[in-house]
Structure formats: C-alpha cells, structure tokens
Chains A and B, each alone.
Chain A
Amino acid sequence: SQTIHQWPATLVQPVGSPLSLECTVEGTSNPNLYWYRQAAGRGLQLLFYSVGIGQISSEVPQNLSASRPQDRQFILSSKKLLLSDSGFYLCAWGDTYTEAFFGQGTRLTVV
C-alpha cells in the first residue's frame, strides 16, 4: 500500500535561517507531488506541484522553492525564512482524478 512520510512534525526556526522539509512516498511510482501551506485562519494554499523528477511548477511567488531530486522525494526549501513563512505545511501525492493523499504535516514557527 502507498504511504507518505513527512518530517519533521514541528520546527521552530529563527528569521533568516534556511529551511528544508522533506517528503517521501512509498508504494507508488511517478506520483504527482504537492506542497501546500495552511496559515492560521486561511485555507490551504497550493505552493508547488511536480509531475516528474526535476519538474516543478510554482503556484505563487514567494520566499520558498521546491525540488524533486528523486521520483518519490519532494523537498521544500528556503534560503532565508521570514516571519510570514510560519504555518502548517502539507505534502501530498495523488492522482487528482481520484483522490489526494496527505502527509501529517509540519508545523513551522519562525521566530
């Protein structure tokens, strides 16, 4: 069966520090992969999606970037975090014609 792993679960980082969140998927090949952010009082915002290795599409301009170095690995990064980067980050994979599968999320607090 397919599983999705996302880590860390929580993270507190100072402003200006770098960020690396990792997501891996097991049990499927060539999945579509997604990064979402959920800020307090707001809906889920789609940040990036990838349909294959090295293929990244950005939905909104921001302080973040994404990479897909392997088929089932998706990484969210920042060189210098801002306070506004705080939020709940969710990785997901799936075929959106049927359903999307979400990881358990990373709570990022930038201080």
Chain B
Amino acid sequence: SQQGEEDPQALSIQEGENATMNCSYKTSINNLQWYRQNSGRGLVHLILIRSNEREKHSGRLRVTLDTSKKSSSLLITASRAADTASYFCAPLLSGGGADGLTFGKGTHLIIQP
C-alpha cells in the first residue's frame, strides 16, 4: 500500500463556490479512492477511479486522474455547508489489496455560509 498526499491541507470557501483538492502519489496504481470524514466520525467512501479512467462524475463530484503525473483531483461543485469535512485520497497499488488502504493527512474543507 502507499500513501497519497492531499493538497492543500486546508481550504475555506464560500457556499456555492467550487472546491478543488489534489492528491499525489508515487507508484503505479490499480485505482484511487476518495473518502470524506466528518468531524469525529468514520470515513465514508465517495468515489473510485480506476487507473485506465481519466475522469469520473458522481453527483456534484468530479474526479480526474493523471497517471503520467501520478496525481488526482477532486472537484466539488456548488458547495454546501454540509460539505464541510476532511477529504482523503487513497491510492491502491497495482497488485495490492488485502494489506489495506493508507491515507494522508487529508484536506480540511470549510464551507462558509
């Protein structure tokens, strides 16, 4: 397993604006997953993008993956106060699986009303 690094560490925007956070990793991956964590709660899976995909959408979420740059981005459009949370990426190594996902420090997103 390998750890993704999220950037920025913190992000504060106004409600209704778009929020973009980035993830970088170091080696070849099978897939990359994004999770959200509300304060004091467990992580919730948001979206998974496979290594042969470049973009994926789910509701207001848009994820891109650039395997040549070993990076991914998560875009949340039309942000809402309820989107306030920490967001983590989890790259899964090619050939990896059972030994678990690893997570960085995440991006702490604050949506100002």
Q: Which residue of B lies closest to A34 (CB)?
A: B100
Stretch at the interface among A38-46, A65-73, A79-87: A38-46
B2-48 with Cβ < 8 A to chain A = 3, 30-31, 33, 35, 40-45, 48
A46 touches B42 (CB 8 A): no
A101 to B42 alpha-carbon distance, docked (Å):
9
A97 touches B106 (CB 8 A): no
Q: What 1/0 flags go to B78-111 for Cβ under 8 Å of A?
A: 0000000000101010001111111111100000
A90 touches B40 (CB 8 A): no
How many of chain B's residues have a CB under 8 angstroms from any CB in A? Answer: 27
Q: Which residue of A lies closest to B4 (CB)?
A: A43
Q: Which of B40, B42, B103 contacts A103 (CB 8 A)?
A: B42
Report B-chain residues with C-beta under 8 Å of the C-beta of A92: 42-43, 100
A36 to B96 alpha-carbon distance, docked (Å):
18
Report B-chain residues with C-beta under 8 Å of the C-beta of A46: 1, 100-102
Q: Does A29 contact B (CB under 8 A)?
A: no
A16-54 with Cβ < 8 A to chain B = 32, 34, 36, 41-44, 46, 49, 51
A50 to B47 alpha-carbon distance, docked (Å):
24
Report B-chain residues with C-beta under 8 Å of the C-beta of A62: none
Report A-chain residues with C-beta under 8 Å of the C-beta of B31: 97
A100 touches B3 (CB 8 A): no
Report B-chain residues with C-beta under 8 Å of the C-beta of A34: 100
B102 touches A51 (CB 8 A): no
A99 touches B45 (CB 8 A): yes
